[in-house]
Structure 1
Amino acid sequence: MPKLLIVDDSALMRKHLRTLFEETGSFEVRTARNGRDALEQIDAFEPDVVTLDVNMPEMDGLTCLGEIMASAPRPVVMVSSLTSEGAAVTLEAMQLGAVDYVEKPGGTVSLNIDGIRREMIDKVRVAVRAKPRRAHGLLDRVRRSGRAAVPAPRRAAPRVGWSDGLVLIGVSTGGPRTLEEILPDLPADLPWPIVIAQHMPRAFTGAFAQRLDKVCALDVSEVVGPTPLTPGRVYIGRGDADVVIERRLGRLLVNTIPSDTSLRWHPSVDRLVRSASGHLPGDSLVAVQLTGMGDDGAAAMAELRRSGGRTIAESEESAVVFGMPAELIKQGGATVTLPARSIPNQLISWLSRGSDGSRP
């Protein structure tokens, strides 16, 4: 039976979360009242997974996470408010190695805890099987987390001769950290735009796009409405909606539309890939399936490969959760399987033009 440590400064919240998980009969549970107490409990209890509140006295969640990942890495699920400040802190936690996050109930905890019951249990169960990854220079990163990031050097991306090709990326649990490993290694003159469906709440995607824009040579923005696709740019689908490719007056656009309620995850990877396949031939599309639970996008990417498209599945070696890429591989839909660190070079190789300017 996996061991779970619940860390929260609210006695009421600790009580309700402990009851929630003990009622499943699937966890041995202990609690801690702040980050400092959590570190002591981790040494004594050796939990398999930790839920960690962001705002706590004595030692906050971000500092505690840094200590955990530097000294005794294990899966951590952050519990955060979905405010702009909460989103920024949670994204920093994802980069530092947290596996996932859930929204902290507001108002009366006893009334609102049911609203996150299924999500909390599902994400903690997945986290138990996830592989935490230690970040380089982690404690230094925590100490300077409030400082502004230094923008990556940029140069003008090409605006002529675009061959109407497109890179599509699907990603879920563990995605923020993985995307921050891949996208900064891509050059500003990448000849095709990139559109990303990252399963994420609406309050997070804008902050995430801004964060990536600071560290990438490519321009990164959130999709908030119909937007012409341009080389040298990365488009992040708005959370709690779906992101699709459209063609208007002969020009390709990326757009955000209401989520399809028949689908479980949003922005939907499946819907993004199918919409792109409806407007571009297979050999003009490259699809990348990264870390995440479930199978969103696997069937659509497998169909894309059969129609002449190229696909990359992140390997089990680097995937925080191997569910989505594993399903793509299972369906025979992966052209290549690579660890995250090797994906930028593969994309650059595939998208490089010949000297005659022919299609990659």
Structure 2
Amino acid sequence: MPGGTRAVVADDSHFMRSVISDILEEGGIEVATEARNGREAVDAVLAHEPDVVTMDVEMPEMNGIEATEMIMAERPTPVLMLSAHTDENADVTFEALDKGAVDFFRKPGGEVSMEMSRLKDQLVDIVTSVAKVDVGKRGTRSSPSRAGGPASGAGTESRSYVGDPTLVIGSSTGGPKMVEQVMAELPIEADLRVLIVQHMPEGFTGRFSERIDNRSDYDVREAADGARLAGGEALVAAGDRHMSVKNYRNGRLRVKLTRDPPENSVRPAVDVTMRTAAAVVDDPLVGVILTGMGGDGADGVVRMKDAGARIIAQDEATSAVYGMPKRAVETGCVDSVLPIDEIPNGILDTITTEVTS
């Protein structure tokens, strides 16, 4: 299949390798070979030079983290982690992202073949998107520092900010490290209320919020139904729940979590959070769309712009997948298109009333 996407499938389960390979082949993705452990995965990448690797997290001889790190050192290739839904696997999965993996897909449990079949379109879509990522160009730091000083590009300037600003961040494929980087650079003095919607399955968003909390001066937690949000705090939409803004009073907002049908084939959807924030929040609003496949967030930025919000989109050069930002830009509602390193300062610019040296 000349010119098509070629994959290496790495998993210690013969059954799972067969299921994944069949799904990819049926979706038009050529499986160059299969690997039973991380060592075989590295050898397969060097021998077959695939476009993408689907990598199991836990494997004998060499696990998925070690294999990903070695692949990035020897022949950088987009890696999609396949992770089971456990707290331990969530930790390991995020460690793999730190080592260079692009994204992850939650392995099904229970009746594996039936559930994987149900998820086959999603798996094919994400493998196809991850395969297009230029892993050599992504310049985000692996361990963002806490935001102890001025945001990137702010120099020694002192800023005064508008009162009670709310920030909504949406991202998908390649987004976790980007979100962490942006949050690490936002000073607590800005007193933002931050709503984060990252396309991520249930069981991983709690760990994701802990990682952001550790790297940011903001108090970051996974959203719960009815949770309230004040300045200097951030909520991460819980996996498999839409997060809507229910009400807003005196600089504090309250969210509602629902299992309403997916929008843009995803839940949580950025559109839901942006749309409800636009309808409810009457203080300054900022919307940010980061890397991701699909068009989620495009309708949301239109609603936010109509409500007077300022909108920022990540540029193509630093996006792992220029899908969501591109669709947002195409609406004509984006005020600034910025590389990831400039987005924190871009956010601050939208809420700054005065700058002094």
TM-score (norm 1): 0.87
Cα deviation 1:190-211 (Å, max 9, x = unaligned):
2221111111112011111111
Which residue type is aligned with residue 108 of structure 2?
A: P
After the TM superposition, which residues 277-292 of structure 1 pair with which residues of structure 2 at under 5 Å, given as runs? Answer: 277-281=278-282, 284-292=284-292
Aligned length: 341
Task: Give 1:254's aligned residue.
Answer: 254
| Structure 1 spans left out of the alignment, 5+ residues | 142-148, 156-160
Task: Give 1:182's aligned residue.
Answer: 182
After the TM superposition, which residues 65-80 of structure 1 pair with which residues of structure 2 at under 5 Å, given as runs? Answer: 65-80=68-83
| Structure 2 spans left out of the alignment, 5+ residues | 150-160
Task: Give 2:223's aligned residue.
Answer: 223
Task: Give 1:125's aligned residue.
Answer: 128
How far apart in 2 are the matches of 1:92 and 1:38?
18
- CA deviation after TM superposition for structure 1 residue 251, in Å: 5.8
Identity percentage of aligned residues = 35
- CA deviation after TM superposition for structure 1 residue 152, in Å: 3.5
- CA deviation after TM superposition for structure 1 residue 226, in Å: 2.1
For the Cα contact (< 8 Å) 2:147–2:185, is it kept in 1? no
Match of 1:24 among 24, 27, 37: 27
How far apart in 2 are the matches of 1:181 and 1:150?
6
Structure 1 residue matching 2:311: 3-state secondary structure: strand
Which residue type is aligned with residue 290 of structure 1?
A: L
- CA deviation after TM superposition for structure 1 residue 240, in Å: 0.7
For the Cα contact (< 8 Å) 1:150–1:214, is it kept in 2? no
Cα deviation 1:24-63 (Å, max 9, x = unaligned):
3442431111111111111110000000000001110011
For the Cα contact (< 8 Å) 1:241–1:257, is it kept in 2? yes
After the TM superposition, which residues 270-349 of structure 1 pair with which residues of structure 2 at under 5 Å, given as runs? Answer: 270-281=271-282, 284-349=284-349
After the TM superposition, which residues 235-246 of structure 1 pair with which residues of structure 2 at under 5 Å, given as runs? Answer: 235-246=235-246
Cα deviation 1:113-159 (Å, max 9, x = unaligned):
32332221121111122232577899xx8xxxxxxx9984769xxxx
- CA deviation after TM superposition for structure 1 residue 70, in Å: 2.5
Which residue type is aligned with residue 288 of structure 1?
A: V
Match of 1:3 among 2, 6, 15: 6
Structure 2 residue matching 1:126: 3-state secondary structure: helix
After the TM superposition, which residues 16-95 of structure 1 pair with which residues of structure 2 at under 5 Å, given as runs? Answer: 16-95=19-98
How far apart in 2 are the matches of 1:103 and 1:188?
34
How far apart in 2 are the matches of 1:303 and 1:21?
37
- CA deviation after TM superposition for structure 1 residue 170, in Å: 0.8
How far apart in 1 are the matches of 2:112 and 2:228?
44
- CA deviation after TM superposition for structure 1 residue 184, in Å: 0.8
Task: Give 1:267's aligned residue.
Answer: 268
Q: Cα gap change, 1:289/1:44 in structure 2, threshold over 3 Å: closer, same or farther?
A: same
Structure 1 residue matching 2:190: 3-state secondary structure: coil
